[in-house]
Structure 1
Amino acid sequence: MEAMEFIKTEPVDLLFLDIQMPDLTGIEFSKMLPKETRVIFTTAFDHYAIDGFKVEALDYLLKPFDYAEFLTASNKARTWFEMVKEKKETVTSEQKEFLFIKSEYKQLRIKLADVLYFEGLKDYIKIWLKDNPKPILTLMSLKSLEEELPQTAFMRVHRFFIVSLKNIEVIERSQIIINKQRITVSEQYKPKFLEFVNSNSLDEVKNIE
């Protein structure tokens, strides 16, 4: 009961939990935990394994276990948490449809679907939009912007350019053409861009030299 009160005020990601305990079993205790807290059961009795997995335990360590077994279970838990975090970040990123961009003392709502490409200019970025002959200028780095963009919709192809993948009209050698603008794909970004091209091509493209 002291542990339960502690977890309410000090959130725990991973709990190594025995099963046979006085007053309350580990299985019963695990059902009372916040959903964010995951469990690895530690017990001397293997017949509890099925019950452990019924409550979605990440692993089950049978006593006596050595350090290697403990480390394997810990790494399994770490991998699980990393996958969950990555999935959440991906979902959040892919659902993003617009950004608020500060320009000339105003916060402009920019629809990502309207963006052709972003052009870096030292500490500034030019945002080129459809049906807009003049770019929007904002004080921001391409690196910071790149972290906010959906990875399936935008790609960094050059030190100074991030392009909208759906608005690419032509790929000619190592250049992308968007709205008559030629953007060179630099060597650093060619492998990833080539992977994108091949995943959306009827014939495999060997290179874009």
Structure 2
Amino acid sequence: MNCIIIDDEPLALELLEDNIRMVDGLELVGSFQSAMAATNLLQQQTIDLIFCDIQMPGINGLQFVKSLTNKPLIIFVTAYDQFALDGFELDVVDYLLKPVATERFLKACNKAKTIFEQSKRSAGTELEKRRKYIFLYADYNLVKLNHEDITYIEGLKDYVKIYLANAPKPIISRVTIKSLESQLPADDFFRIHKSYIVNLDHVHSIRKGRVKVGDAEVPVSDGYKEVIDKMTGRLD
């Protein structure tokens, strides 16, 4: 996480710099004695976390945070507790009172890191939901395969065969079925056997131990029977 400090007291800046160096995953990219001085950096570089004082000459910390359009995570570090309510109304990560104990500082940083990681995972999930295709190497080409065209996938050690609704022959790619499974949306593609993944949109019927998908029937192994219940909506 890239972070900066804004505090008009040189000693406070030094103490925060020392504390940040102790925290794994935090990269200090700037220290500033006013909010205005930090503005240029915020326009040029992505900052994930700001440690910000409140009582400062010119624009104070509260005014500064309110002015931000793409607001990073904020931790207020101040000597005044009367602004705590105003701070939390701005949805800040934490509000630290000077002098800040090391364990209290670490707790605030860990909270920020948790929020940051959750946000990244959420953004990644949304991206996967929007993406309707995958790219795989096949016959020395990088081939684009639309999710909706894939009927089922058969795993063969280090290879997979990908059967398509609009193609007479499967696409063969040097990738493991486990790796491919992780690239496909879990709401549409179901692993029903150690060697088979089916696209629910192409499933016609299910009977004991078999799934009819496209023009083929593929087996269901004992270890994946719960997947069938999930696939048919009988298991949340």
TM-score, reference length from structure 1: 0.76
Q: Give 1:62 deviation, angstroms.
A: 3.4
1:196 counterpart residue number = 230
Equivalent position of 2:48 in the other structure = 13
Q: State yes or no: 1:95 paired with 2:95.
A: no
Specify whether residues 197 and 122 from structure 1 end up closer, same or farther in structure 2 by C-alpha distance, changes over 3 A only: closer
Please list the CA deviations of residues 38-78 of structure 1 after superposition, one character each: whole Å capped at 9, or x if unmatched: 11112232221233234331222234554454344333322
2:220 to 178, 181, 184: 184
* Equivalent residue runs for 1:1-209 within 5 Å: 3=32, 4=38, 11-31=46-66, 35=70, 37-179=72-214, 180-185=216-221, 187=223, 189-191=224-226, 193=227, 196-197=230-231, 200-201=233-234
Alpha-carbon distance, 1:88 to partner: 0.8
Letter of the structure 2 residue corresponding to residue 135 of structure 1: P
- Structure-2 separation of matches of 1:83 and 1:16: 20
Query: Kindly, what percent of the aligned residue pairs are identical?
Result: 35
> What are structure 1's unaligned runs of at least 5 residues?
none
Contact kept? 1:96, 1:150, Cα under 8 Å? no
Change (3 A) 1:136 1:12: same
Conserved 8 A contact 2:210-2:217 = no
Measure, in 2, the Cα distance between the counterparts of 1:194 and 1:81.
35
Q: Secondary structure at the match of 1:152?
A: coil
In the superposition, the TM-score normalised over structure 2's length comes to: 0.68
**Counterparts of 1:147 and 1:57 in 2: how far apart (Å)?**
34
Contact 2:205 2:212 in 1 (8 A): yes
Give me the CA root mean square deviation. Answer: 3.1
Aligned pair in 2 of structure 1 residues 13, 125: CA closer, same or farther (>3 Å)?
same
8 A Cα contact 1:176 1:185, kept in partner: no
Counterpart contact for 2:190–2:231, Cα < 8 Å: no
Q: Which runs of 5+ in 2 are unaligned?
A: 1-5, 7-30, 33-37
